[in-house]
């Protein structure tokens, strides 16, 4: 599944599964090589960031809520020289908390931690990202 965001779709990234509380996405190696023959850091960042938005779309009522990203901390651990995949999860209880808080207060912060893994199972980067689910009817601060 493509994201519909040109910046992301130019990378060739693909969301393979997006369902309530779970997403898996892949960043292809070839179009995202840097000057020294490994995957460019910005491609890894993109893979660590955007799938959460599609998971939100498969988890929350998109007529009532939309997510924004507030903060991302990414640590590059190993050079990536294959396609890289990521999986993200939101537990049932956390989904309920976010939904209730966003409905009541107009917004709800939530964190996603993820590991980016190469074709050999090596963790090439880890990320902690902070998102906010916002109610479409609440004023944007």
Binding site for a second copy (CB under 8 A): 3-8, 10-11, 31-36, 40-43, 45-46, 49-50, 66, 68-76
CB closer to a second copy out of 73 and 96: 73
Distance in Å, CB of 40 to a second copy, minimum: 4
Distance in Å, CB of 53 to a second copy, minimum: 8
CA–CA dist 76, 116 (Å, integer): 9
Distance in Å, CB of 20 to a second copy, minimum: 20
CB closer to a second copy out of 35 and 121: 35
CB closer to a second copy out of 43 and 117: 43
CB closer to a second copy out of 82 and 92: 82
Distance in Å, CB of 58 to a second copy, minimum: 15
SS (H, E, C) the chain: CCCCCHHHHCCCCEEEEEECCEEEEEECCHHHECCCCCECHHHHHHHHHCHHHHHHHHHCCCCCEEEEEEEEEEEECCCCCCCEEEEEECCHHHHHHHHHHHHHHCEEEEEEEEEEEECCCCEEEEEEEEEEEEECCCCCC
């Amino acid at each position: 599944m493509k994201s519909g965001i040109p910046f992301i779709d130019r990378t060739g990234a693909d969301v393979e599964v997006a369902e309530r509380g779970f997403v898996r996405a892949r960043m292809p190696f070839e179009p995202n090589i840097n000057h020294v023959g490994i995957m460019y850091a910005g491609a890894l960042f993109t893979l660590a960031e955007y799938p959460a938005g599609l998971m939100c779309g498969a988890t929350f009522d998109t007529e009532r809520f939309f997510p924004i990203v507030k903060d991302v901390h990414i640590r590059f651990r190993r050079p990536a020289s294959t396609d890289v995949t990521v999986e993200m999860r939101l537990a049932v209880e956390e989904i309920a908390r976010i939904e209730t808080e966003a409905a009541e207060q107009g917004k709800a912060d939530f964190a996603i931690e993820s590991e980016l893994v190469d074709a050999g199972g090596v963790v090439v980067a880890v990320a902690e990202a902070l998102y906010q689910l916002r109610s479409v009817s609440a004023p944007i601060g």
